[in-house]
Structure 1
Amino acid sequence: MHEYIEQRDAPRNGWKLANWDAYASTVNTDDPPDAAHITIDNRLGAAVSLADQTRRTLTKLLV
């Protein structure tokens, strides 16, 4: 997540990057949301490319 936010280089994310530990402590990645959702791994070097994850997700949604 840090890599993605850093590479995105959006001005609104300056605080997050400067205060990463404080920001990251507010993000719950252990418990999935109660609602239906899809988890996408957008890390650099993810085992499955973002394009392939998107293709798989769309296939599931459209079937």
Structure 2
Amino acid sequence: MTTATLLWGVLFSSIGLGFSLYGKKQQRIVPLLCGLVLMIYPYFVPNVYLLVAIGAALVATPYFVRS
């Protein structure tokens, strides 16, 4: 793991924590699921560019998919 991978992982996991708390409190499934995935996926993606691309897509998903 590189420093960039760790820092991006911490950033996306923090955003995921916020999404999951929001989704649970508002009882919305899309932010809750995106938040959970954002907290877990950095452990399995070793490439920094792929990590950022997947993270950006997951962060944008709740804004485009309303539930």
Is the shorter-chain TM-score for this pair beyond 0.5, marking a shared fold?
Answer: no
Rg: which structure is higher? 1
Structure number with the higher helix fraction is: 2
